[in-house]
């Protein structure tokens, strides 16, 4: 079942999400929510979806970065982004620790802000402690694009949107990104925009 995606301006996106209890995690209601979130994310398509994005202020997110999403990216772009396929999984009550002081800038979009993108600085690598969809503890060490996805989705759980982190001069429509910036590096974009 496809869920309605909350968009910028809806209060649920600006309210901190609450942790799930162990009883809730094991409930049929949460298991069904995870499945519906996966279907909604895949249908959009997107690589991540947080519960606040579907109107639920819960510390829950789903992630899946499929190989088929890489179509249209050059091998050089994939290497630069350190992007590889990530199997479906849920994050519950995640705690994120930045493990790399290096921030990388890439264009990022969001299902809650359809049609737009901007350069967003993010840490190259992170360590995440969370529970999986069965309530089992999980530790994730991630770098590159996967680390970016984790940071983006966990931000949603703390009422933060990429708009709060973006380099505002780079904010543009997806159409203009494809037209002017798709094959440019972040450094080239910043020079062209006088940054």
- The answer to whether 39 is a known catalytic residue is no
pLDDT of residue 71: 85
pLDDT of residue 133: 95
Residue 183 has pLDDT above 90, yes or no: no
Of 37-41, 70-74, 107-111, 154-158, which gets the smallest average pLDDT? Answer: 70-74
Residue 43 has pLDDT above 90, yes or no: yes
pLDDT of residue 14: 98
pLDDT of residue 63: 98
pLDDT of residue 60: 98
Q: What are the beta bridge partners of residue 141? A: 127
- Give the pair of three-digit tokens for residue 145: 């694009």
Which residue in the list 24, 68, 153, 175 is annotated as catalytic? 153
**Looking at the chain, which runs of residues are DSSP E strands?**
48-50, 60-65, 86-98, 103-108, 116-123, 125-131, 137-143, 172-173
Residue ranges of domains in the chain: 11-192
72-106 per-position pLDDT tens digit? 888 888 999 999 999 999 999 999 999 998 899 99
pLDDT of residue 86: 97
- Give the pair of three-digit tokens for residue 165: 């982190």
Q: In terms of Cα–Cα distance, which of 128, 133, 58 is closest to 88?
A: 133
Band of residue 62 on the pLDDT scale cut at 50, 70, 90 = very high
Provide the mean pLDDT of the chain.
Answer: 96
The C-alpha angle with vertex 65 and arms to 41 and 145, in degrees rounded to 5, equals 120
Distance CA 68, CA 75 (A): 14
CATH superfamily of 11-192: Peptide deformylase (3.90.45.10)
**Mean pLDDT throughout 136-155?**
97
């Amino acid at each position: 079942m496809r869920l309605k995606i909350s968009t910028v301006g809806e209060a649920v996106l600006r309210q901190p999400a609450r942790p799930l209890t162990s009883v809730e995690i094991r409930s049929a209601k949460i298991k069904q929510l995870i499945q519906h979130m996966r279907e909604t994310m895949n249908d959009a398509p997107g690589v991540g979806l947080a519960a606040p994005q579907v109107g639920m202020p819960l510390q829950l997110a789903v992630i899946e970065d499929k190989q088929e999403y890489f179509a249209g990216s050059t091998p050089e772009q994939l290497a630069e982004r350190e992007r590889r396929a990530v199997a479906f999984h849920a994050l519950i009550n995640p705690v994120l620790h930045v493990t790399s002081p290096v921030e990388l800038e890439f264009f990022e979009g969001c299902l809650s802000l359809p049609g737009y993108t901007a350069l967003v600085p993010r840490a190259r690598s992170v360590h995440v402690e969370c529970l999986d969809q069965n309530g089992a503890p999980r530790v994730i060490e991630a770098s590159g694009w996967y680390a970016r996805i984790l940071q983006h989705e966990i931000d949603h759980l703390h009422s933060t949107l990429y708009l709060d982190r973006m380099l505002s001069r780079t904010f543009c429509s997806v159409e203009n990104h494809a037209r002017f910036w798709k094959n440019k590096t972040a450094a080239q974009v910043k020079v062209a925009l006088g940054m």
